[in-house]
Amino acid sequence: MAAATGLAGLGFHAFNIGKRPGGLSWLNLFYAAPIGAPFALALAGFFGRCAVRLASGARTLYGWPAGRFLAAATAGGIVGTVGEAGLLHFRGAYHNPAMALPVTIPPIAAGLLGAAAVTQADTPRKAARALLYATACLGVAGVGFHLFGVSRNMGGFRNLSQNLLNGPPLPAPPSFLGLAAIGLAALALMEANHE
């Protein structure tokens, strides 16, 4: 249900962007409904379904070894999340140097996780694990940075009802935490199943 809701939301957001003057343009991608946000809900539903299958004892997902499949799917999810963060941080003009971290560390982690999904070498797995931990920390720290950003809007926390809507969005950074946790679980699953 969550996956279906996320895909439907993706359609609504794409429609919202397309009907605005200028259609699919940078301006509309910056300021219209965020195109990647509903897809995160679809990913949550998809990974939840995978978790249910694994909990019932499955060792494969969609014909692939479970750990490798989860690693590859998580790497793709991280890449999409980085794209959304990059777009919106570009809109924010990278005024804080920390805004570069979500578009540098997670894509490297995704690349290493993808490499770990297709090879049995230890080096990409160890490096992916370290960078996934760093990505998870970014997900937690990002909420603090976004809270600071909300406080800098006119009226700060006294005008919270307006400033929460103006952003930066508080629920966005934890998506890095969630995807990093799934990536770490995929690595552990690969080791446990000797994939």
pLDDT of 17 reads 87
pLDDT of 164 reads 85
* Helix segments in the chain, DSSP class H: 2-19, 26-31, 37-55, 66-91, 105-118, 122-152, 160-166, 174-192
pTM equals: 0.88
pLDDT of 37 reads 84
From 129, 72, 137, select the one nearest 102 (Cα to Cα): 137
Tens-binned pLDDT, residue by residue, of the chain (195 aa): 888 888 898 889 889 888 989 888 888 888 888 888 888 888 999 999 999 999 999 899 999 999 999 999 999 999 999 998 998 888 877 788 888 999 999 999 999 999 999 988 888 999 999 999 999 999 999 999 999 988 888 998 888 888 888 878 888 899 999 999 999 999 999 998 887
pLDDT of 61 reads 92
**Backbone region of residue 22 per phi and psi (left: phi > 0; alpha: psi in -120 to 50; beta: other values):** left
